[in-house]
């Protein structure tokens, strides 16, 4: 994905990806039949990795919910904050025709993880869990594009979580 992010999907060649991966171009074609298949596999891998990390963060029951939420959002979006880090999500978002429903299903899965974590808290109001989740996601998206560093993103998101989650 770093190679796709650096050059953009259209300008990335299989030769460049092979060079970055330190394998031969025929070896790359042995693993992936086309640039489209490689891109789809790479994007799926990154999104699955981020979702799994968010899920693990939320599952640590001995930590306060606010900390678990901050960690989950950091895995999902925080790692893509800053001038160089934005290229990976951009190249994914700029090629919806290559990824199909993946661009809708993965964010929905993240939304469901957060909503479930909020609804599972003692005394939680399940009806407000989705609204709070959507507000946190909107805040995260806005911060991702405002923040110049991951630390700034985390600090501001910590404030938002503190306001929405008692």
| Tens-place pLDDT, residues 40-60 | 898 889 889 999 999 999 999
Average pLDDT over residues 18-46: 89
Report pLDDT digits (tens) over 88-143: 677 777 777 777 788 789 999 999 999 999 999 888 887 789 999 999 999 999 99
86 pLDDT more than 60: no
Tell me if 67 sits within 8 A of 57, measured CB to CB.
no
Please give the pLDDT value at position 108: 95
What percent of the chain has a predicted confidence (pLDDT) above 70? Answer: 96
When pLDDT is cut at 50, 70 and 90, the band that residue 147 belongs to is: confident
Total residues belonging to the chain: 166
Give the span between the Cα atoms of 147 and 130, in whole angstroms. Answer: 25
* Structure letter (DSSP) for residue 139: H
Say what the pTM is. Answer: 0.85
Res 102: pLDDT: 80
Q: Terminal CA-to-CA distance of the chain, rounded, Å?
A: 38
Output the six-digit token pair for 92: 């994914």
Selected from 1.20.1290, 1.10.287, 1.10.357, 3.40.50, the CATH number assigned to the domain covering 45-164 reads: 1.10.357
DSSP letter for each residue of 12-54: --HHHHHHHHTS-HHHHHHH-SSHHHHHHHHHHHHHHHHHHHH
- Of 83 and 71, the one with more pLDDT: 71
């Amino acid at each position: 994905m770093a190679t796709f992010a650096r050059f953009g999907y259209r300008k990335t060649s299989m030769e460049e990806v092979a060079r970055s991966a330190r394998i031969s171009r025929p070896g790359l074609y042995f693993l992936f039949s086309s640039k489209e298949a490689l891109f789809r596999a790479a994007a799926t891998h990154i999104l699955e990795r981020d979702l799994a990390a968010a899920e693990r963060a939320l599952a640590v029951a001995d930590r306060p919910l606010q900390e678990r939420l901050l960690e989950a959002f950091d895995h999902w979006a925080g790692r893509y904050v800053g001038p160089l880090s934005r290229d990976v999500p951009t190249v994914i978002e700029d090629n919806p025709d290559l990824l199909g429903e993946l661009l809708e299903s993965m964010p929905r899965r993240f939304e469901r993880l957060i909503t479930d974590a909020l609804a599972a808290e003692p005394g939680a109001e399940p009806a407000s869990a989705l609204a709070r989740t959507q507000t946190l996601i909107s805040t995260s998206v806005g911060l991702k594009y405002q923040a110049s560093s991951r630390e700034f993103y985390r600090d501001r998101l910590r404030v938002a979580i503190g306001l929405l989650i008692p």
